[in-house]
Amino acid sequence: MTILGVVLAGGQSSRFGSDKALALWNGVPLIDHALAALTPFVDQQAVVGRDWPGTIRVDDLPRPGLGPLGGLLGALAYAADKGFEAVLTCGCDTLGLAAAHVAALTPGPSVLEALPIIGLWPADLAPELQDWMATHHRHSVYAFAQAVGARRVAVPNPPANINRPEDLAARA
């Protein structure tokens, strides 16, 4: 299976107070931690919602500002267009994604129960997500996952979701 690894990085970072993707953990931007975590499991990587050196940029669809589902739709459409079979998603504010977490997601569609931004999605879901977003006003990853029959996977020691500066400080 050919997998596109995608870091969703188009959010506002409103709870964090500054750009989370650029926040440093152990001297490295969070976005680089997310990209490194995806590397062993994917054939190629992309970042949705921003330019990042050495990485393909994918835009949110149908436009920015629609949250993670806009990023997922952009990623699925790009993956389908480029011949990838699936998309493995991770947030730019995720720390601790491990092989056991990714292994629990196969086969897709599936999301981590504790952190649904981490998911494995068949690329051919792009048209279904586009239609779903056009008819549903609540753009929830869980709601879409349920609509397409995605498994919600519980894993021990799920990755950390860094939403606030104190979340990052707690990882030090």
pLDDT digits (tens, 9 = 90+) for 48-68: 999 999 999 999 999 888 889
Q: 14 or 137: whose pLDDT is higher?
A: 137
The reported pLDDT for the residue numbered 11 is 64
Domains and CATH numbers, the chain: 3-170 (3.90.550.10)
For the entire predicted model, the pTM comes to: 0.94
Quickly state the pLDDT bin for 47 (edges 50, 70, 90).
very high
pLDDT digits (tens, 9 = 90+) for 2-31: 999 999 997 665 566 668 888 888 999 999
Q: 13 or 157: whose pLDDT is higher?
A: 157
CA 131 to chain centre: 20
| Residues of the chain above pLDDT 70, percent | 95
| 151: β partners | 110
pLDDT at 75 exceeding the cut of 70? yes
pLDDT digits (tens, 9 = 90+) for 85-96: 999 999 999 999
Question: DSSP readout, 34-80?
Answer: HHHHHGGG-SEEEEESS-BTTBEEE--SS-TTSTHHHHHHHHHHHHH
